Amino acid sequence: MGCVVADLKVRFAGLELRNPFLLASGIWGESGDSLAGAWAAGAGGVVTKSIGSLPRAGYPNPTIETYERWGMLNAMGLPNPGIEEYPREIEVAQRAGATIVGSVFAGDAAEFARLATQMARTGVSAVELNLSCPHAEGFGTEVGGTPEDVEEIVRAVAGAVKIPVIAKITPNTSDPAALAQAAERAGAAAVSAINTLRAIAIDVHLRRPVLSHGIGGLSGAAIKPVGLACVWQIFEKVKIPVIGIGGIMTAEDALQYVMAGARAVEVGTAVAFEGVGVFGRLARELSSLVDDLGYARLEDAVGVAHRSA
């Protein structure tokens, strides 16, 4: 045991990942070079920053507050160069050989379908729909926060593209599994959960919120138990694969998500804190952990915690 032989390859929803650790959307992933850097550092795949129809500057600073040990609060406002410009960044990451998931955000189902079609033309392996940003007026949870919204958007996209559609759902709801079920009914190949938790920080000296936008999204270690609970509940209700996200800093965190039902995971805040070197560390640590626990393949651990619950 402990000889690091466990197979970390994962295959699901038409995707083949060399290991289960994907770079999460919005962290490190805006330029082609940064996506390529995460890939070179050992990520199993990379999710792009969420891309919209038009370039957006995002909110004015301050847009981020960090809490050293347990996470960060952000309201970036979905800054991005727009779908016309972005394919050249994807090309850079493709030349580096990266497995790429293109993330898109839009204001309604028709715009999602148009954007996803343009994203699919770049040759990405899958498209992830940002139905879950908690702080962007007219986007994210405002358009994708109910089962009806999720179903309408996913149906439009799944009917428009041939690549796998991943619905990224919000934890800011009473029933995350209902959102996942809606995505499944509408033809999603997988669901990813979670995006950030709606949150705010207040500066008592300035007597105002810390972030210029006020409300932001909380990520990092603090949200892991929430992400785990969402994945747990979703796994019990849907058959399509689940990608776990939220507060993964160690291999053990990742394995907790796998045992709760995730087939792969996305890593965000840990990359912001530690840099892309985190991917090599996580893959090495997970390989020995899985081996120590006696699994030949990571896939054998998916959902096992449900059997004894």
Ligand X SMILES: Cc1cc2nc3c(=O)[nH]c(=O)nc-3n(C[C@H](O)[C@H](O)[C@H](O)COP(=O)(O)O)c2cc1C
Query: Would you name the residues annotated as active-site residues?
Result: 133
CB nearer to ligand X: give 131 or 291: 131
Among 56, 135, 155, 168, binds ligand X (CB under 6 A): 168
Site for ligand X (CB under 6 A): which residue of 6, 10, 22, 24?
A: 24
**Contact letters (x/-) for ligand X, 47-66, by CB under 6 A?**
--xx----------------
Residue whose pair of structure tokens reads 């593209």 in the numeric block: 161
Specify whether the CB–CB gap between 210 and 201 falls below 8 A: yes
Cβ 201 to ligand X shortest distance, Å: 14
Q: Does 170 bind ligand X (CB under 6 A)?
A: no
Nearest to 250 by CA among 274, 217, 219: 274
Identity of the residue numbered 231:
V
**Per rule CB under 6 A, is residue 188 in the interface with ligand X?**
no
> Which tokens in the block code for residue 23?
């770079």
Provide the minimum distance between the beta carbon of 162 and ligand X in the complex, in angstroms, as a whole number. Answer: 22
Candidates 157, 129, 135, 124; CA nearest to 52 is 129
- Minimum CB separation of residue 207 from ligand X in Å reads 25
Q: Which residue is nearest to ligand X (CB)?
A: 26
Where are the extended beta strands (E) located within the chain? 10-12, 15-17, 21-23, 45-47, 64-67, 71-74, 100-104, 126-130, 165-168, 190-193, 197-199, 202-203, 208-209, 216-219, 242-245, 262-267
Shorter beta-carbon distance to ligand X: residue 75 or 289: 75
Binding residue for ligand X, selected from 20, 26, 37, 261, defined by CB under 6 A: 26
Task: Let me know: does 195 contact 150? Beta carbons within 8 Å.
Answer: no
Q: Which of residues 262-301 bind ligand X (CB under 6 A)?
A: 267-270
Evaluated on CA atoms 251, 240, 108, 209, the torsion sign reads negative
Q: Is 172 in the site for ligand X (CB under 6 A)?
A: no
Residues that bind ligand X (CB under 6 A): 24-27, 49-50, 72, 74, 76, 78, 103, 130, 133, 168, 195-196, 219-220, 223, 245-248, 267-270
